[in-house]
Amino acid sequence: MAVAVCWAAGAGAGAGESGTDTGTDTDIDTSRYYNYEEMTELLQGLAEAHAAHARLFSIGRSVENRSLWVIEISAPSSASSPASPPRRRPQLKLVGNMHGDETVSRQVLLYLAQYLVQGYGHDPRVGRLLNTTRVYLLPSLNPDGFERAVEGECSGTAGARWNARKKDLNRSFPDQYRAQAVEEADVPEVVAMERWIKENKFLISANLHGGSVVASYPYDDSRNHETKGYYSKAPDDEVFKYLAKTYASKHPIMKTGKPQCADSPDETFPDGITNGAKWYDVPGGMQDYNYLHGDCFEITLELSCCKYPPASALNEEWKNNLESLLSLMEQVHIGVAGFVTDAVLGSGISDASIVVAGIDHNITTGSFGDFHRLLVPGIYNITTVAQGYMPSTVLDVEVLEGPATQLNFTLQSLDNHTIETVTPTMASSTEFKMHNVSEMEDVQQSNTIEPENFRHHNYIDMEILLRKYATEYPAITRSYSIGKSVEERNLYVMEISDNPGVHELGEPEFKYIGNMHGNEVVGRELLLNLIEYLCSNYGTDPEVTSLVNNTRIHIMPSMNPDGYERSTEGDMDGVVGRNNSNNYDLNRNFPDQFFQIIDPRQPETLAVMDWLNRIPFVLSANLHGGTLVVNYPYDDDPDGADMYSRSPDDAVFCQLALSFAKENGPMFEGHPCKNIYPDEYFPRGITNGAKWYNVPGGMQDWNYLHTNCFEVTIELGCFKFPYASDLPKYWKQNKRSLLQFMKQVHRGVKGFIIDATNGKGIYNATITVAEVNHPVRSAKDGDYWRLLLPGVYKITTSARGYTPKTRSVTVVEEAVEVNFTLTRVANNHDSGLDQVLTESSADPGQEFEKLIKSLSSENGLQDLILSARVDLNLYRYHDYKDLSEALRGLHSNYPSITKLISLGQSVEVRHIWALEISDRPGIKEVAEPKMKFIAGVHGNAPVGTELLLAFAEFLCILFGKNQAITKLIEETKIMIVPSVNPDGREIAQEGQCTSKVGQTNVHGKDLDTDFTGNSSEQLAKMQPETRNIVKNLILNQGFTLSVVLDGGSLLTTYPYDKPVQTVENEETLKYLANVYSNNHPKMHLGHPGCPNNTDENIPGGVVRGAQWHGHMHSMKDFSVTYGHCPEITVYTGCCKFPLAKELGAIWHDNQRSLLSMLVEVHKGLRGKVTDHDGNPIPRANIILNEGVRVPTSEAGYFHILLAPGPHDVDALAEGYQHQRKKVFVSPYEAAITLVMVVELDNKLFGLPRELVVTATGAALSAVIVTACIVWCVCSFKSSHQKDGFHRLRQHRDDYEDEIRMMSMGSKKSLLSNEFQDETESDEDTLHQ
């Protein structure tokens, strides 16, 4: 059937509507379904016929390689008012056919596309919509399933609901309450949709389904996953209901609330709408993902009882839904909209947060500072927050029906005034109350879910429990290990946060540690109870929700799991199990300020120390047993006496200790163990550690002295290993104390230290409080926390290279935010910083520096990728022949920027190819950084080979077309070596994830264990592949950075692989590995999830090689040691040789990381070493931080990558004076450029050159005079002895031979410039 739609002439509104048609009848064919080919043809035809306001594109492909078509419909830009600000038009999307056998949605969206494109210019309503809105229609998200569906099957077709991999797409999105066990390769449709959502700022969306007639809204599931009947409310519940009612009220059947479907005739939905989870629980649904990850308000629309009705019903379905669709689309304009701008510059501020009081869901501004926040009519208090600016709040904003209320914010940049307001980040429920809350306990008890798991947990039991909570509450938990005990047990930590795995800017880090002494177990069990309590009550209890949302909580139940396994229940005061397996007391094993700890540092100790150096903890407690008291620093004193040892923050520590003790009645009384220690008394339940007894090597003092973390030690009871039946009593006694102590992390001052020039955070800045001799330092993004009691303080912040700033700050009960903006000092001799060589503004070097800074910004690389889309169509692997042809093809097609080189040949005489990419290939440019990418060291892991081929083609295609890529190629020498082991690759097999076939070369040698050294003997013994890489690449090229791609896990390792190797520049090597990992969408999460090691936890996705799989003679170790080039190894996935169809997804995951390396190679420190006259000093040594040595090139150049922060740089050259400079490396800026000018060393043997020369001349004169005197004396004596001398020579021939030998000896001495006593030889010559 064809529906005739008549558009009246001149009915349009605005641009595009002034047509002169007398009228147009447009037919929409609603008589049949369109298969994939017909749908494609229809959409292509619409886009071609209406190119001015329609655009067709694909967001990706299905499993069976069908395009996921989207048609964008919107008026041309000129249709809007020329004077309108540059705010984006609101974007909305409608998605259909997610379930392949639910087909009405597919057809309705195709009809809607025709209706809109043909109605523009004729229908006023369509004109208004398209002139102000960008409409995106995706008719079929599951085209594969549709092709299997059967018309007329109302209950669905077996297998057609799912995609071609039998996956339900609406159960395959990341879920806030449950981890979805879905491989991305199985759901390319979902992957494409996730990417599309994140890359756009959609405001409204609808997901069109079939099987009932109702509008469903978030949330679609709940924490407890009740099958049905549980209302799971989103923060914007009112908005969602408003949108759902808008649709339902215009639908003739839906608005009745009685669909009367055959399979559920009595089902009713008031007003035709329902909360998703209340209807039935749907984990992994798309509508919740839109809201949580894209700030897009999506509802789900069930359009018909019959999933695939006969085509004869389509006309009626179209009529039923047209008005509803138009009404829903028009709601994209409700709420508030406006701009956030800089008060001085007037420019828009991007990524500012728009916070609505009482609604725990923020949105962010666009690139022009524009925002649009959907809200239902009402009165609101709205705040905007942006880094580097003072927050601004507008009270009583009235939102009316209809178009959005216009609301603009003008923000003042942070100046020298103290900011004494807490930056709002969510609803008011996040506020912390620091006062005693014991009176709340009865109410809390009745409203919270209490732990039920009161029993002792051995190591395996504890593992299972931690996995249980990490699995059940993935949205707020992350289980990880910081290392292993002596007996190889994991030191587990449970992180609990609303954003697990991420340090959120401005959010403090807190930790609890239990069971440091293995037989003191109450802390271990309390912390397991606490994990259960926090997880169970998050989202329902305000106190718990507030803590989790605003604190990153780390809980380590057992620091000494080995000792626990030897302990025995019922041990009251014993020592069995107290120490670790090496029989060392871990609380006497930390470095001490007063005494040298001679015991070897234990693995548990080292793991905790490393953990504290990686995470900027603010507050901590160490839970023990044996008495009942909170003990605070210091734990010892210089004399080792039991006397009060006061720390600079003694008052703060007393308050922290008291916050725990006063919530625990027996502890607060101060007489804890009357039967054991009848005379022991702790006033108010707290004590200074050293006053109680001296503990050198304790953990709490080390926390305070070596990190920013304030730690106390809490003794939880007189019974070290009580019976399990007593555990509920311990929980009840300590629950409030545990919660109240955590809240103390929000005391004092917090804020950011910001660079006035670039607005970025300053790492490692010092925050000092007047008259308190204990500075703290800012974290890597410039955020800091300083615990203080209420009062007035003078706070100074300083950073190397910046002018310090001091403020007077009033601290109240809750943390006050104080941000400091520091200005760089002028370059002079007193600053200690090296002079940066800058050039004129017209110089292209400055443009490139700006590019590096731009690409280093939060979204810089992502924006580059979006602007440089290239469809590389990775669908197959390349064997050696194909690889060679592909490389030759790249060189043939891009000869001006490529050079193909053979580094040598393999055992079976295959070339080891290298492709150079540069604007001047083959020409040595000493001042340009060189970057190498290597893959295929193991032939059974060829993913890296394919990624490097794709990367090479990506760069070549975009050279001259994309400005950023062009500049990167112009400024970098890039060497790509896709296959080091081509012989092994030839025998490896696709789909073999763990097979070792092809791992070695044909001699059976793992090439990554063959880089033995650089001597001629060692080179001769290497395999041909290894030797060629060493001689022709590593030692002969002078690279700045190297990245090696391998397979078998999902992580990045840095040197060294050698187990006992000292890592001098570990901070830099680890930083480079983190750059790659952090730009990978999954790697940085630290959970490779490989089938052979599902519980593996790699914090940040980065680990030193030796700590993961240590081995000798690796390529990365050789590269660092002999090539002076930092090298990281990237493991691109668990499967070493995955199926070819997975390559596209792997390329997508690694593209940003690979580009980040090209950016990173331009950072750090570069320059030249010259003498006073400007002549280069070749092979001078650049020494970093008194450790790593890097030689300059023959032209005196050097380029060194460094971790962000301050560094000492020394230049040493033979015959020249030592030069030292101090530099500060930024993570966002291009390399600091400096010239190290070395002066001739004017000293010999440590004395002035002139003095040494004068003294030497005098000494030589004395020697000559002495020699003359000796010669005269000897000559006189020899004249009297001549006859006797000759009588000794019996044979003339012998005598002549002797004379000849003496003569030869004289000549030899002369030629060799050796000093000889010439007196004796001269005399012999006289007597020839």
Catalytic residues: 302, 715
Give the chain's count of helices (H) and strands (E). Answer: 37, 51
For the residues of 647-684, what is the DSSP string, one character each? -TTHHHHHHHHHHHHTTSHHHHHS---TTT-TT---GG
Question: What φ, ψ does residue 549 adopt, rounded to 5°?
Answer: -70, -25
Asked if 372 contacts 203 with a C-beta cutoff of 8 angstroms, the reply is: yes
Dihedrals phi, psi of 1228, to nearest 5 degrees: -110, -15
φ/ψ region of 100 (left if φ > 0, alpha if ψ in -120 to 50, else beta) reads alpha
- C-alpha triplet 942, 946, 949: angle, nearest 5°: 135
- Please name which of 108, 489, 511 lies closest in space to residue 325, comparing C-alpha atoms: 108
User: Two tokens at 1016?
Assistant: 């001629």
Q: Are 1250 and 1181 in contact (CB under 8 A)?
A: no
Strand partners, 61: 67
* 8 Å CB contact between 370 and 86: yes
HSE of 829, CA atoms in CB hemisphere, 13 A: 0
Q: Which of 1209, 1053, 1068, 1180 is nearest to 1125 (CA)?
A: 1068
Angle subtended by helix axes 542-550 and 727-743, to nearest 10: 50
* Residue 1310 region by backbone torsions, left for phi larger than 0, else alpha for psi between -120 and 50, else beta: alpha
* Rounded (10°) CA dihedral 1251, 1252, 1253, 1255: 80
Distance CA 1293, CA 1039 (A): 68
**Closest-CA residue to 232 (of 222, 242, 217):** 222
d(Cα 978, Cα 951) in Å, to the nearest integer?
A: 10
Distances (CA, A) of 413 to 239, 348, 756, 808, 840: 33, 13, 10, 19, 28
Q: Locate 1067 and state its tokens.
A: 């901070």
Residues 758 and 1226: their CA atoms lie apart, in Å, by: 11
**Most distant CA pair in the chain: distance in Å?**
147
What are the backbone dihedrals phi and psi of residue 456, each rounded to the nearest 5 degrees, phi first? Answer: -80, 140
Q: What is the DSSP letter of 292?
A: H
Q: How many CB atoms lie within 10 A of CB 598?
A: 6
**Peptide bond connecting 1056 to the previous residue in cis, omega within 30 degrees of 0:** yes
CA distance 690 to 636: 5
1163 vs 1199: CA distance, rounded Å = 9
CA distance 96 to 208: 5
Closest CA to 516 of 561, 470, 465: 561
User: Is 302 strand, coil or helix?
Assistant: strand
User: 1247: which strand partners?
Assistant: 1244
Closest CA to 132 of 93, 87, 199: 87
221's CB contacts (< 8 A; 6+ apart) are 175, 177, 178, 232, 276, 277, 281, 282, 283, 285, 288
Task: Answer whether 285's CB lies under 8 Å from 171's CB.
Answer: yes
